[in-house]
Amino acid sequence: MNVPAIQSKAPQDQQQSLATELAAGAPDGAGGSLFAQLTGNPYFTAGFGLAGLATVGRLGQKGLTRAAYYVRRRMLVELEVTRRDRSYPWLLRWMSNHHRAEMQKIQGGVESAGQKPSKGAFESLVRRFAPRIHEFQIETGEVTRPDGRQHTQFSVVPGLGKHIIRYENAWILVNRERQGQHLDYEGQFFETIRFTTLYAHRSIFERIFLEANKLKEEAEEGKTIIYHSRGMDWERFGEPKRKRPLDSVVLEDGVKERMVEDMQEFIDKREWYSDRGIPYRRGYLLYGPPGTGKSSFIEALAGHLEFNIAMLNVSQRGLTDDKLAYLLTRVPARTIVLLEDADAAWVNRRSVGEDGYAGASVTFSGLLNALDGVGSAEERIIFLTTNHVERLDEALIRPGRVDLTLRIGNATEYQIGKLWDRFYGEMDPKGAGRERFMAKVSSLGLVDAISPAELQGLFLYNKDKVEGAIASLDELAAMHAHVARKMTRGADEDVRE
């Protein structure tokens, strides 16, 4: 009878022992039991640790990046120059010259010149082991020698990439890079140069630009730059030309002096124009037969007053009224605008060529507004030349657009004598040949009949030959008589028609 009582007690003991074990394993309740299981799992703790390390690393990386950016902003300074800026080629040439000078110092150029180095051994080591420019680019150009021959000139400039240079006591990181592979309207890639140095050395940029500009001025000293329009801006046309002396152009007595005086007065009276509300611009018209020296005189004037020349062609393909007006607002400083053969600018404008081009789209009213309209540019000097002044519209040459008109005619007795002295003055010191030459010119009726260009051609053909120049007058007179008869015959035929 006692056996069943023992069997019913065993299950109760098992349940009690299980509850005791559970309670011992989870003293904080069911939640604590789950946390204990997770923390006791080695896989979970390893993954959680890796995630935590990754988070800490990411935050540290961002912190370092921000700190580096902050330090860079506080300690470094950058300067960017694009290819479109005029100083871009100046800086490339300055870097080349600076690199060449540093290399000469390293190779003992200073010592060989008999001077002692200004620095000690540390400076010598710095120069010897300093980073240098290792990537270069060749620029080829043509230079005209005094004798007229063309000379090919090679210029080595820093190439694309990063370079480190030392200027004074500052280290500069130079990064020349190309933006994309697209060409601009000049057929060149868009490039930039970025200079980076310590913020404390930021003042060196100004000195670098001053040196680069000085190099540019030295290269252009004694020369006249010719511009022509391309697209929406002016660009150099060929290499700069040697300035033409004003004395090389022989005009009637007093003509050059009058023009120089008028232009110099205009240049000096800028504030006078501004105080009176008068547009600061000046227009000149030179007219006369071909070969009388109109264009040569303008070139000599530009050289004498240290101006450049911008050639304006209103018949240029693609040029419109708006582009013309914009171009005249973009004329480089101290530059004369030259419109040659103004009477022929609108001849055959509507004739269609083989390529289907029907002429420029600049209208006469567009030119008038660009010269003297509401939106016309100031601080401008413009010259117009023509062989037929009677063909010009009165609206084009009225005061305000043309302020001074000068006739440049055929060679007068004064001009002929001056040209003779220039070519044969040393060979004819007593003037005997000059007297015979002038007498023959007068007897043949060539005074005021031949152009200075024809007379100069005669002298060039008879270099150092006084008698040859006098004898050649007969041939020149015969040629003029033939041309005169031909023109008279042509005029008679036109009248009969």
Give 85-109 pLDDT, tens digit per residue. Answer: 888 888 888 888 887 777 777 666 4
**Contact present, 310 and 228 (Cβ < 8 Å):** yes
> What is the pLDDT, as a whole number, of residue 44?
60
Residue 31, pLDDT > 80, answer no
pLDDT band at 202 (very low <50, low <70, confident <90, very high): confident
CA dihedral 34, 36, 37, 41 (to 10 degrees): 140
Give 334-380 pLDDT, tens digit per residue. Answer: 999 999 888 876 654 444 455 444 455 788 888 888 888 776 777 88
Instruction: Give bridge partners of residue 174 from the DSSP assignment.
Output: 163, 195
Predicted model pTM? 0.69
Distance CA(140)–CA(117), nearest Å, equals 35
Which residue spans of the chain are classified as CATH 3.40.50.300? 236-407
What sign for the dihedral angle of Cα 262, 268, 274, 276?
negative
% pLDDT > 90, the chain: 27
Instruction: Identify the top-confidence range among 186-195, 312-321, 341-350, 449-458.
Output: 449-458
> What is the pLDDT, as a whole number, of residue 180?
72
Give 389-446 pLDDT, tens digit per residue. Answer: 888 888 888 888 899 999 999 999 999 999 999 999 889 888 899 999 999 999 999 9
Residue linked to tokens 């000085």: 214
Distance CA(91)–CA(94), nearest Å, equals 5
**What is residue 99's three-state secondary structure?**
helix
Distance CA(431)–CA(5), nearest Å, equals 165
Distance, CA of 464 to chain centre: 43
* Candidate from 151-165, 329-343, 384-398 with smallest mean pLDDT: 151-165
* Candidate from 8-22, 236-250, 446-460 with smallest mean pLDDT: 8-22
> What is the pLDDT, as a whole number, of residue 482?
77
**Contact present, 33 and 25 (Cβ < 8 Å):** yes
Give the burial string for 84-108 (b: 16+ CB within 10 Å, else e): eeebbebbbbbbbebbeebeebeee
The CATH superfamily holding the domain 236-407 is P-loop containing nucleotide triphosphate hydrolases (3.40.50.300)
Distance CA(352)–CA(92), nearest Å, equals 45
**What is residue 223's three-state secondary structure?**
strand
Over residues 240-247, the mean pLDDT reads 89
Contacts of residue 430, Cβ cutoff 8 Å, sequence gap at least 6: none
Q: Which two tokens stand for residue 149?
A: 């021959």
- Mean pLDDT taken over the chain: 78
Give DSSP secondary structure letters for 140-197.
EEEEE-TTS-EEEEEEEEE-SEEEEEEETTEEEEEEEEEEEEEE-TTS-EEEEEEEEE
> What is the pLDDT, as a whole number, of residue 284?
95
What sign for the dihedral angle of Cα 58, 62, 68, 71?
negative
Q: Which two tokens stand for residue 56?
A: 């800490």
Burial of 365 (0-12, 13-18, 19+ CB in 10 A): exposed
Considering only residues 72 and 145, tell me which one the structure prediction assigns the higher pLDDT.
72
* Candidate from 111-125, 199-213, 254-268 with smallest mean pLDDT: 111-125
Q: Residue 437: enclosing H or E segment and its boundaries? A: helix 432-443
Give 287-303 pLDDT, tens digit per residue. Answer: 999 999 999 999 999 99
> What is the pLDDT, as a whole number, of residue 356?
47
Residue 15, pLDDT > 60, answer no
pLDDT band at 3 (very low <50, low <70, confident <90, very high): very low
Burial of 114 (0-12, 13-18, 19+ CB in 10 A): exposed
> What is the pLDDT, as a whole number, of residue 139?
67
Instruction: Identify the top-confidence range among 53-67, 309-323, 446-460, 479-493.
Output: 446-460
- Cα 136-139-143 angle, rounded to 5 deg: 145
